[in-house]
């Protein structure tokens, strides 16, 4: 197995996770069970893999990762995990990211825990697009300011944040794309340019779009969409 976009040296559980075999937690289980060989010898927990090393699995089937989209309804909280039905079987997935109670829209569900760090860490600059309904009339200067940067409060600190894009769709609706996701960031950014958010919806995560997915519905990703998503985040 030869993972892409990997930096050596790396711990063996991270190596297996990057290979798409299993999560880091499950990799530790396999190592403890003696099912992982490093250069033909039984691997130990915390073992380091160097470039050129050979990692092998014994009597282990690659974990089947599943990926799905959920249209979280407005007025509901985001749970840590959510059960979905795959091939007639109930499967526990994790919510990759959160939306506040008053925000509806797209949440990615998966049992692939590698996604959390890649999609939620702002250093990777992955896109999330929001449809923002506001009370006031939108003017070009406000859109320009959102892209140039505004000041918000996060964890008691004043920060400057920017939208990757901000575009007026209708007189009271704008589209805003972010590459980070601080708490209430869209609402605070709009407030900083004197716009009052009346409704907020997330409509896109990377290549994944909400489209016509009805409220509270769950839809498994097509293989082509899954491949495009994983490629876009380096997995």
Which residues are known catalytic residues? 100
Contacts of range 166-173, beta carbons closer than 8 Å, 24 or more positions apart:
167/143, 168/138, 168/140, 168/143, 169/131, 171/137, 171/138, 172/133, 172/134, 172/135, 172/136, 172/137, 172/138, 172/198, 173/131, 173/132, 173/133, 173/134, 173/138
Alpha helices in the chain (DSSP H): 12-18, 24-32, 114-120, 140-148, 185-192, 223-232
Cα separation, 68 vs 70, in Å, equals: 7
Euclidean distance between the first and final Cα of the chain, in Å?
Answer: 13
DSSP 3-state assignment of 13? helix
Q: What are the CA-CA distances from residue 185 to residues 93, 109, 152, 190 (Å)?
A: 26, 22, 8, 9
- From the number of C-beta atoms within 10 Å of its C-beta (0-12, 13-18, 19+), residue 78 rates as middle
Q: Are 118 and 234 spatial neighbours (Cβ–Cβ below 8 Å)?
A: yes
Half-sphere exposure for 16 (CA within 13 Å, toward CB): 29
């Amino acid at each position: 197995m030869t993972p892409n976009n990997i930096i050596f040296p790396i711990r063996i559980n991270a190596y297996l996770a990057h290979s798409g075999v299993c999560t880091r937690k499950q990799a530790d289980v396999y190592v403890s069970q003696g099912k992982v060989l490093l250069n033909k010898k039984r691997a130990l927990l915390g073992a380091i893999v160097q470039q050129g090393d050979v990692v092998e699995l014994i009597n282990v089937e690659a974990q089947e990762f599943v990926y799905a989209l959920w249209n979280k309804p407005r007025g509901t909280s985001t749970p840590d995990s959510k059960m979905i039905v795959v091939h007639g079987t109930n499967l526990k997935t994790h919510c990759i990211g959160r939306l506040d109670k008053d925000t509806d829209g797209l949440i990615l569900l998966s049992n692939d825990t590698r996604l959390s760090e890649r999609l939620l860490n702002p250093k990777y600059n992955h896109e999330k697009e929001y449809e923002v309904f506001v009370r006031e009339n939108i003017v070009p200067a406000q859109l320009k300011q959102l892209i140039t940067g505004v000041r918000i409060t996060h964890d008691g600190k004043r920060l400057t944040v920017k939208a990757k894009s901000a575009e007026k769709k209708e007189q009271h609706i704008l589209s805003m794309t972010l590459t980070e996701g601080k708490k209430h960031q869209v609402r605070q950014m709009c407030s900083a340019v004197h716009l009052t958010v009346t409704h907020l919806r997330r409509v896109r995560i990377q290549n994944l779009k909400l489209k016509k997915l009805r409220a509270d519905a769950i839809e498994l990703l097509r293989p082509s969409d899954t491949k495009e998503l994983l490629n876009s985040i380096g997995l």
